[in-house]
Amino acid sequence: MSKRANTEPSAASRVGNAKVMNRLELTRRLIATLKGGEAVIGGIGNTNFDLWAAGQRPQNFYMLGSMGLAFPIALGVAIAQPQRRVIALEGDGSLLMQLGCLSTIASFPSNLTLILMDNGIYQITGGRPTPAAARSDVVAIAQDCGLAASAWAEDEEDFVRRSAAAVAADKPTLIAVRIDDSPGVGKPVRDPAQIRERFKRGIGVRA
């Protein structure tokens, strides 16, 4: 594990006793709890790769290209389909690109759950620490933005419990997890039109 990842005391102190976990393991556990129709939006890079590796559901959307768009795209899906539960997976560096979306999301009565995979680094582009890594608590930020029930998951079982409760709730919530610096595993097809069309069929807006 890199010395810059979530092993430094400064990072540990801002997230309490949360265990350092593995993105793929958590993604698999999350997918295993789903009932079937939930839309799942993966962010650019590793969250996307591990979502692909956890099983290629037609209700999954794999963001390519720009950081920070998983949560905003998921908000759009949640607004368009209020009966559907929507879950978005994003990296901590990517969220920094669109931090304001948390306030926007909190202002909608929403069927949306946000999962924040926090390794403290921009893993996929070389592992540099994010500017927030040593000083900012993303759960405190989310709570102050209005996502009041947001929380750190302490371990894998706590993650499953908290994410299932958040998905079932009628308000948007962010669940953050500390993760290690493992790269994502899957290799999603890099064809935006194909990803879009499959997702549209998966959520019933394309025959």
Ligand X SMILES: Cc1ncc(C[n+]2csc(CCOP(=O)(O)OP(=O)(O)O)c2C)c(N)n1
92 binding ligand X? (CB under 6 A): yes
- Site for ligand X contains 45 (CB under 6 A): yes
Among 6, 27, 94, 163, binds ligand X (CB under 6 A): 94
Q: Does 50 bind ligand X (CB under 6 A)?
A: no
Burial of 83 (0-12, 13-18, 19+ CB in 10 A): exposed
Which stretch, 11-19, 40-48, 141-149, 153-161, contacts ligand X (CB under 6 A)?
40-48
Burial class (CB in 10 A: 0-12, 13-18, 19+), 194: exposed
Quick check: 97 binds ligand X (CB under 6 A)? yes
Cβ neighbors of 205 (< 8 A, separation 6 or more) are none
Q: Does 93 bind ligand X (CB under 6 A)?
A: yes
Q: How far is the CB of 46 from ligand X (least distance, A)?
A: 3
Number of residues this chain uses to bind ligand X (CB under 6 A) = 16
Joined together, the tokens standing for residue 169 give: 């709730």
Tell me, what DSSP letter sits at residue 141?
Answer: H
Alpha-carbon span 89 to 175, nearest angstrom = 10
> Which stretches of the chain bind ligand X, using CB under 6 A?
44-46, 66-67, 91-94, 97, 119, 121-125
